[in-house]
Amino acid sequence: MIVQIQEVRKILKDTDKIVVLTGAGISAESGIPTFRSNNGLWEKFNLEELATPQGFYKNPRKVWQWYNERRKSILSAFPNKAHYKLAELESKKNFFYIITQNIDGLHQKAGSKKVIEFHGNIFREKCTKCSYKTYNEKIYEELPPICPKCNNLLRPDIVWFGENIPEDVYVQSYEIVEKAEVLLYIGTSAVVYPAAHFIEQSIYRGKIVIEINLEKTQYSDLVNFSLTGRASEIIESITKI
């Protein structure tokens, strides 16, 4: 592992075009639960009821109650060393982007500027009927919240299962991955698409692909480096430039 760390450190030092794909594992050390690992959210809650449009329209109050609880826990969370080290690395590179599957906003709180929120943000919400959209860190008392413009239901501005990634977000992300020389993917089980496609796209294009995870994923044997361990520790080691 030591040799791998040294090789990756040199690659990150010498490469100017880097894209990072992050998942829930990078925020685990900030106390935010993951979805599919160690007692993750989908082991405790019903995905269909809470993270699909059908579940929302069937019981919007229940879905908002769940998102209210997640807003509370995310508001009390802070970025960890992994988030800060990526923000530092961004400042040293001309082409450096984070495509995050996370909705917690911790990359931005750590100082990262070029962050694409591939699945949205838990503090953004939009009307189910009109074009109203807003950002607020409110924990709603009255549930479900209603659009102040047209009095229809408000929903979290998050991409749920069965929904498409907004086209502009997808195209921007795809193009960034095309242009990058290195893809670093951190703390993601790499089983949700189209985000996981960026790993395949990078492997197919012959880019340098680096995995950081506590466990192996379906791509571990296909990538250039599969670094097993906690994101905060490994990112600190590989960014010691």
Q: In 3-state terms, what secondary structure has residue 165?
A: coil
Which of these is catalytic: 83, 107, 119, 197?
A: 119
119 in active site:
yes
Q: Quick one: tokens of 84?
A: 């800060």
CA distance 192 to 118: 12
Q: Which is nearer to ligand APR, 11 or 82 (CB)?
A: 82
Q: How far is the CB of 142 from ligand APR (least distance, A)?
A: 26
Yes or no: say if 15 and 181 are a contact pair by the CB < 8 Å rule. Answer: yes
CA distance linking residue 241 with residue 239, whole number of Å: 5
For residues 151 and 5, give the distance between their C-alpha atoms in angstroms, rounded to a whole number: 55
Q: Quote the least distance from Cβ 91 to ligand APR, whole Å.
A: 23
CB closer to ligand APR, 37 vs 224: 37
Q: C-beta of 99: minimal distance to ligand APR in Å?
A: 11
Could you give the CA distance from residue 23 to residue 34 in angstroms, rounded to a whole number?
8
Measured from the CB atom, the residue of 35 and 225 that comes closer to ligand APR is 35
Sheet holding 182-186, edge to edge: 115-117, 95-100, 17-22, 182-186, 208-213, 225-228
| ∠ Cα 165 15 30 (to 5°) | 55
> Which of 119, 155 has the CB closer to ligand APR?
119
Residues that bind ligand APR (CB under 6 A): 23-25, 28-29, 34-37, 40, 101, 119, 187-189, 192, 212-215, 230-231
Residue nearest to ligand APR (CB): 25
Query: At its nearest, how many Å lie between ligand APR and the CB of residue 195?
Result: 7
> Which residues are part of the catalytic machinery?
119
